[in-house]
């Protein structure tokens, strides 16, 4: 199997998970994203995919505020997600299709 798959604009590399569940981020990618030893990365599971997002102070502040806001509600997790999805759809319609918004 070819471990390096290159396209004109992107760089992909097959990674093998180590015995303790570790992977190595390629140096080229670490350098391009300014990721150093100890850099905080957020791990997000989306279906069977894993996304790593570099955490900055703005993101940390936002998630801290969201956590505090949600902890003060009596809403269950699924209710919160549904509410966020509905409000997001409304904002998209208002922004891009103002004639259709109610």
Q: Which two tokens stand for residue 36?
A: 């150093």
Share of the chain above pLDDT 70, in %: 84
pLDDT at 46: 84
pLDDT at 1: 47
Instruction: Kindly give, in sequence order, each residue whose CB lies less than 8 Å from that of residue 15, ignoring residues fewer than 6 positions away.
Output: 23, 24
pLDDT at 11: 62
Local confidence band at 6 (pLDDT 50, 70, 90 cut-offs): low
**Does 50 share its domain with 66?**
no
CB 83 within 8 A of CB 77: no
Number of domains in the chain: 2
**Digit-coded pLDDT (tens) for 43-90:** 888 888 888 888 876 677 777 777 787 777 777 878 877 888 888 888
pLDDT at 8: 46
**Does 12 share its domain with 44?**
yes
**Does 51 share its domain with 16?**
yes
Average pLDDT, the chain: 79
Residue 5's φ and ψ, nearest 5 degrees, are -115, 115
- What is the domain extent for residue 28? 4-56
């Amino acid at each position: 199997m070819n471990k390096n798959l290159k396209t004109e604009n992107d760089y992909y590399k097959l990674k093998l998970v180590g015995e303790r569940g570790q992977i190595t981020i390629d140096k080229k990618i670490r350098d391009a994203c300014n990721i150093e030893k100890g850099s905080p990365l957020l791990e997000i599971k989306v279906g069977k995919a894993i996304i790593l997002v570099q955490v900055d102070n703005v993101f940390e502040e936002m998630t801290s505020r969201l956590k505090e806001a949600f902890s003060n509600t009596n809403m269950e997790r699924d209710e919160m997600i549904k509410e966020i999805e509905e409000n997001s759809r409304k904002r998209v319609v208002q922004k891009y299709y103002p004639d259709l918004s109610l």
